[in-house]
Amino acid sequence: MGGRVFLNPPYSNLKNDPWVDKFINNGKGIALVSAKSIDTKWAQKLLNASDSILLLSGRIKFYYPNGEQSKGSFLSNMLVALTKKDTCSLQKLLYSNKYKGVIFKNNKDNEEL
């Protein structure tokens, strides 16, 4: 198992990259991905491996390395946490009031609801 990572894969090539397996095999971290793709093969694999997801409200502004803001902010985004510790980080993000959204806990351990 590797160290905790933050992953923001290129949205232009989400389905053709082995990033999902590498991220899951690493075992801990948070990934920022498109929330519009939850029905895809890669997203289902990622969501099934997650401890929780944070669906972000609003759109994230992205910037190029030169500091220029991208013109596109057309996708909704989610943060996917692999472990309970990663989920705590998502909760802290919400409590900071810097971002708004809703956290959904994966019930993969069949915990009583």
SS3 call for 8:
coil
- Per-residue confidence band for 86, with pLDDT thresholds at 50, 70 and 90: very high
The overall average pLDDT reported for the chain is 86
Domains contained in the chain, number: 1
Within a domain: residue 111?
A: no
113 is a domain residue = no
In a domain, 96, yes or no: yes
Measured distance CA(77)–CA(63) in Å, rounded: 16
pLDDT digits (tens, 9 = 90+) for 63-74: 888 998 877 666
Domain of residue 13, residue span: 5-105
